């Protein structure tokens, strides 16, 4: 089975990802020899509706190192490149430590974790 593709976001234009975490994860990716895509800032690609997002969302199993899964899901959707919830795993570099984050990326198995439905019930569903 092929390893899921890996997308790494460097969050270049804000300080929301801890610098030591994102740089260590990038360093480890560089040292590992695995194939991966790195983008300066996923938010920019979403704002620009960059075709790379569509290519990634339509290309099968995908592991993403970025921020909160809910944010990643809707950034892709906003770019007209909705992610396949059953084929996507997001590692949140805002909260994860380096070792577990890197291990999750390198693990060949995929644990989908995009929010498939609202995590609390919106009022239009509740009433």
Partner 1 sequence: MSLTESTLRVALYEGPGTRALSQETRFETLKQLLSQGCSVRRAADPGDVSVWIGDWAGDFEEQGEAAAHTCISVAPEHLPEAVEASRKSVAAAPAGQWKPWFPVIDYDRCTNCMQCLSFCLFGVYGVDGDRKLQVQNQDNCKTNCPACSRVCPEAAILFPKYKAGPINGDVVSDADLQREKMKVDISALLGGDVYSLLRERTAKAQSRFSKERDADKALAERQKCLTKLAALSADIPPEVLASLPSPDEIARRAAEAAAKAQAALAPKD
Query: Which residues would be at the binding site for partner 1 (CB under 8 A)?
Result: 10, 12-14, 16, 23, 26-27, 29-31, 35-52, 67-72, 74-75, 77-78, 94, 115, 117-120, 122-124
- If the CB atoms of residues 87 and 113 are measured against partner 1, the closer one turns out to be 113
Burial of 98 (0-12, 13-18, 19+ CB in 10 A): middle
Rounded Cα gap, residues 82 and 62, in angstroms: 12
Longest dimension (CA), the chain: 53
- If the CB atoms of residues 75 and 110 are measured against partner 1, the closer one turns out to be 75
Q: How far is the CB of 119 from partner 1 (least distance, A)?
A: 5
- If the CB atoms of residues 46 and 110 are measured against partner 1, the closer one turns out to be 46
- If the CB atoms of residues 75 and 104 are measured against partner 1, the closer one turns out to be 75
Q: How far is the CB of 60 from partner 1 (least distance, A)?
A: 14
Q: How far is the CB of 93 from partner 1 (least distance, A)?
A: 12
Q: How far is the CB of 120 from partner 1 (least distance, A)?
A: 5
Q: What own/partner pairs with CB < 8 Å and gap ≥ 24 does 114-121 have? A: 114/69, 114/70, 114/72, 114/73, 114/83, 114/85, 114/88, 114/90, 115/69, 115/70, 115/73, 116/85, 119/70
């Amino acid at each position: 089975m092929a390893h899921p593709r890996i997308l790494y976001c460097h969050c270049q234009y804000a300080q929301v990802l801890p610098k030591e975490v994102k740089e260590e994860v990038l360093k480890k990716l560089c040292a590992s020899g695995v194939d991966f895509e790195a983008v300066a800032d996923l938010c920019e690609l979403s704002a620009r509706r960059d075709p790379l997002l569509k290519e990634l969302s339509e290309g099968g199993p995908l592991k993403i190192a970025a921020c909160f899964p809910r944010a990643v899901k809707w950034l892709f959707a906003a770019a007209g490149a909705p992610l396949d919830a059953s084929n996507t795993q997001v590692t949140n570099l805002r909260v994860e430590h380096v070792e577990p984050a890197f291990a999750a990326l390198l693990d060949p198995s995929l644990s989908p974790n995009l929010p498939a439905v609202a995590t609390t019930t919106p009022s239009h569903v509740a009433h």
